[in-house]
Amino acid sequence: MKRKTVLVLLLVVMMILSLIGCGGSQTPADNSDQDETTSTEKILTYSVLIDMPTLDQSLANSADSMTLISQIQEGLVRLHDGKVIPGIAKEWEVSEDGLVYTFHLRDVKWSDGVNITAYDFEYAVKRLVDPATASPYSFIAEPIKNAMKVNAGELGVEETGVKALDEKTLEITLEIPAPYFLGILNMPHFHGVRKDLVEKFGQDFAADPDKNVYSGPFVLEEWKHEDRLMLVKNQSYWDKDKVNLDKVNVIVVPDPNTALSMFENGDLDFVDVPPNLVEQYLDKAQLYYNGADDFLKLNMDGKNPLKNKNLRLAVNYAIDREDYINITTSGLFDAGTRYVLPVVAGVDKKYGEEYPYEAFPLKADTNTAKDYLDKAIKELGVSNPQEIKLELLTTDTDVSRIQAEVLQDQIQRNLGIIVNIKQVPYKQRLQMETNREFQMVFSGWAPDYDDPHTYLCLWTTHSPYNQISYSNAKYDELLDFSSTCRDPRERMDALFAAEKVLLEDGAIVPLQMRRVAWLMHPKVKGLVKSYVGPREDYIYADIEE
């Protein structure tokens, strides 16, 4: 497996070097029949671990997909360096009651020269919530009037609270005031979509560069699946004069250590440092929270033994989170003793400063774990722990295997129950999550907007993302209240109370909160890393040799 990967990667690197040269600049080719690239061309090159599962705006549900889509498409607004700035919409008004948003669009065009209109954005929202689309991210439209009823099939798509008043004016009506709504509109799921192309290509829409058009600072020029993608500057982009890069190369490199070597050889312009090597690079690396917290989803569907609350709590207390992060990340990540990332915004300070909380201990509490296990054994009608067998689903990478083996050892050793590991390709894992074909699965979440709500809205009873069949009336009530409450402190109190309910139910197993060490070539300027929105934003990045 490793030998094959290395050979493939070597071929990828050789191909890229032959096309673009090292570090982003290329010497013009001698062959006059070939397209020439000047030495002044500015090219940014970076890697991803896996290919993009999709570049369809409505279907995107991975951080890499959403990051890349945010560079080739643009929404009504854009999130840059944590701040909402105008995008395709040059301005907007909000009604006094906070329910109606009216956006005024710029006179801009798609990459094929067709005018971008408010109808493209109306269609995008309706396509997102249409149950026929089966978007895994439809829940993000929850604040919009009737969106969730449409998604549940209770109302027709035309009842969605979005309407193009004319080609340049879009009106969105909310169910309830949502102070974070503008931040949500940065998400690719709300970017304009051309209805004629969806109808033309059907399920193949956006599957290749020529099966979509682009509104963002870059255009998808090439996509060699499982290999690489190439973006080029969009000459139709309304703000193209501020876009400095000519091209962006995104290479699929499954092995983080190989990616690091490529960076050191000048073949990548920035790279995340593998957690086990962070100590070697602390003097060079930059550290930041990427917003992601990792956890185990515990499926409570059907006859799954994890439907039992005491078993879920037993698993939570059996985990030694400190050992877990030390073994799997060399201590780079923070142990997840709670769910919501503490650095997201609270009312006056960071959420974690205003609401400190430790739901589960850093070290395993085996006594408490066994107390819960004893209760679970009685309630499940089994005679000993070995009769309880759980399967832990994860991705088929070495890193995922190590993570799973650490948890397998801790749970089996501290509880005596049987844990089997199942590894599958990433796309298959996502599909199995969607289909609820798991008992325990590694998962995670990065914030779509700077508010605890972005984490907590996932677990309401009817949330499409709630693939664990969790349902608690008190939790739903708190989330509903937080959505309608106009008092910032009362609203935040409700969100904190909801976080406590979720974890007191043992609905998930918090594991870690990611801090990422990354290296960037000094020639790269203006590239932004953020824990909210796109993981990397290079719209205003530059290459200064």
Residues 6+ apart with CB under 8 A from 374: none
The residues pairing with 528 across neighbouring beta strands, listed in sequence order, are 537
Can you say how many angstroms the Cα of residue 350 is from the centroid of all Cα atoms in its chain? 21
Does residue 289 surpass a pLDDT of 70? yes
Does residue 133 surpass a pLDDT of 90? yes
Can you say how many angstroms the Cα of residue 262 is from the centroid of all Cα atoms in its chain? 25
The residues pairing with 223 across neighbouring beta strands, listed in sequence order, are 229
Dihedrals phi, psi of 157, to nearest 5 degrees: -60, -35
Can you tell me the mean pLDDT for 218-241? 98
3-state secondary structure at position 420: strand
Q: What is the pLDDT of residues 310-341, one digit of tens each?
A: 999 999 999 999 999 999 988 888 999 999 99
pLDDT more than 70, % of the chain:
93
Quick one: pLDDT at residue 486?
Answer: 79
> Rounded to two decimals, what is the model's pTM?
0.75
- Report the alpha-carbon angle 157-159-162, nearest 5: 95
Spatial separation of the C-alpha atoms in residues 441 and 468, rounded to whole Å: 10
Spatial separation of the C-alpha atoms in residues 233 and 80, rounded to whole Å: 18
Residue from 417, 419, 503 nearest 459 by CA: 503
Quick one: pLDDT at residue 515?
Answer: 86
What CA–CA distances, in Å, run from 356 to 121, 503, 507? 40, 14, 20
Q: What is the pLDDT of residues 463-497, one digit of tens each?
A: 878 999 999 999 999 998 988 787 889 999 999 99
Quick one: pLDDT at residue 118?
Answer: 99
Dihedrals phi, psi of 496, to nearest 5 degrees: -65, -40
- Alpha helix (H) residue ranges in 228-301: 256-264, 278-281
Q: The tokens of 197 are what? A: 């192309």
Residue from 176, 192, 163, 165 nearest 76 by CA: 192
Do residues 62 and 52 touch, judged by C-beta distance below 8 A?
A: yes
Taken in order of first residue, the domains within the chain and their CATH numbers are 2-269+521-543 (3.40.190.10), 289-516 (3.10.105.10)
Spatial separation of the C-alpha atoms in residues 494 and 227, rounded to whole Å: 46
Quick one: pLDDT at residue 13?
Answer: 33
Q: Give the chain's mean pLDDT.
A: 90
3-state secondary structure at position 56: coil
Spatial separation of the C-alpha atoms in residues 124 and 423, rounded to whole Å: 35
Spatial separation of the C-alpha atoms in residues 206 and 212, rounded to whole Å: 5
pLDDT more than 90, % of the chain:
76
